């Protein structure tokens, strides 16, 4: 999957299996990533688990478990409730049935956005900087530390390949760029959309990139500055950029 960390590092990772995104005194979020069927080496998220920890003796929140899996995006916690705490410090909101659910955690001003696109899950969170807990050198939180180097994929190099054995590769890439551009996806999200289309051919990933872009524009505190130039990594790269690929 593609990851934007709290520090705005943008990475493409393998991270097969279960990995923590966040764990702190208030909540835990963890994803499970599975290899895609056709053996491309790519993985995608098919499960998300969120645990809300008790807060103020249950006045604001009791311990709650939320689990989304491929094909099942619940609108409640595991116990069937939609709120937590006597004062309802936590609420689940169904925005689009089967596609978009949000967990609002009032007492820590935190919003978690969970989407199901095709058969896969996407995750986005906005939380106060002061509540992010760095766990030192052993920290495994993907949102905090990013992916381990051994798990990272250099997607820019992958996309710039022009000598692939597949004779249709260049045409596929032009087609993928056109589809992603048509969806009005830009910046790293354009690159990740192209990468996903090339590795899977699954058009659902175009929608996933588009949704992720929507979420970052909504949740990122500096989104208007972040995307001021709306350039992908290709624009300033030494390898063939999108303009070259598209023949100017």
Partner 1 sequence: CDILWCSYQYEADTDPLDPGPYPDFCRALQRYQRCVDRISPGSCRGDLHYHSTKTVIPDLQRNYECERVLREENNPGPTRAVETTTRPSRNGGDNDSDSPGTNGRPPFFPDILSDAPETGGSQRCQYTGSRSFRHCGLFGD
Q: Interaction with partner 1 in 125-184: which residues (CB under 8 A)?
A: 125-132, 142-143
Minimum distance from CB of 45 to partner 1 (Å)? 6
Minimum distance from CB of 56 to partner 1 (Å)? 6
HSE on the CB side for 144, CA within 13 Å? Answer: 23
Site string for partner 1, 76-115 (x = CB under 8 A): ------xx-xxxxx-x-xxxx---x---x-xxxxxx----
Q: Is 209 in the site for partner 1 (CB under 8 A)?
A: yes
Minimum distance from CB of 126 to partner 1 (Å)? 5
Q: Is 1 in the site for partner 1 (CB under 8 A)?
A: yes
Q: Which residues pair with 84 in a beta bridge?
A: 90
Minimum distance from CB of 248 to partner 1 (Å)? 28
- Exactly one of 32, 43, 62, 232 binds partner 1 (CB under 8 A); that residue is 43
Report angle CA 187, 95, 51 to the nearest 5 degrees. Answer: 85
CA distance 77 to 91: 10
- Exactly one of 53, 179, 181, 220 binds partner 1 (CB under 8 A); that residue is 220
DSSP string, 12-77: EE---EEEEEEESSSEEEEEEEEE-TT-SS-EEEEEEEEEEPPBTTTTSB--EEEEEETTB--SS-
Q: Name the one range near partner 1 by CB under 8 A: 66-74, 169-177, 212-220, 234-242.
A: 212-220
Place of tokens 């299996």: 17
Using the minimum distance from each CB to partner 1, give the nearer residue, 139 or 244: 139
Tokens linked to 211: 């949704």
Minimum distance from CB of 157 to partner 1 (Å)? 17
- Exactly one of 49, 160, 199, 232 binds partner 1 (CB under 8 A); that residue is 199
112 alpha-carbon distance from chain centroid: 11
Are the C-beta atoms of 37 and 62 separated by less than 8 Å?
no
- Exactly one of 23, 27, 32, 44 binds partner 1 (CB under 8 A); that residue is 44
Give how many residues touch partner 1 by CB under 8 A.
75
CA distance 118 to 116: 6
């Amino acid at each position: 999957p593609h990851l934007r960390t709290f520090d705005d590092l943008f990475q493409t990772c393998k991270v097969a299996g279960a990995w923590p995104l966040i764990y702190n005194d208030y909540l835990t979020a963890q994803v499970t990533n599975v290899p895609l069927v056709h053996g491309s080496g790519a993985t995608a998220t098919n499960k998300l688990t969120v645990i809300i920890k008790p807060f103020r003796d249950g006045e604001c929140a009791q311990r709650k478990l939320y689990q989304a899996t491929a094909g099942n995006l619940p609108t409640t916690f595991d116990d069937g409730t939609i709120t937590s705490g006597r004062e309802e410090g936590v609420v689940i909101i169904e925005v689009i049935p089967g596609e978009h659910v949000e967990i609002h955690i009032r007492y820590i001003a935190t919003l978690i956005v969970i989407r199901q696109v095709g058969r896969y899950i996407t995750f986005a969170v906005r939380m106060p900087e002061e509540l992010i807990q760095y766990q030192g050198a052993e920290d495994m939180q993907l949102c905090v530390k990013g992916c381990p180097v051994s798990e990272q994929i250099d997607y820019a190099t992958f996309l710039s390949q022009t000598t692939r054995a597949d004779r249709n590769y260049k045409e596929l890439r032009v087609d993928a760029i056109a589809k992603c551009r048509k969806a009005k996806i830009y910046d790293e999200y354009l690159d990740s959309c192209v990468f996903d289309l090339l590795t899977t051919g699954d058009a659902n990933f175009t929608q996933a990139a588009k949704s992720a872009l929507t979420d970052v524009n909504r949740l990122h505190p500096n989104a208007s500055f972040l995307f001021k130039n709306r350039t992908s990594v290709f624009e300033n790269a030494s390898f063939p950029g999108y303009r070259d690929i598209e023949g100017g």
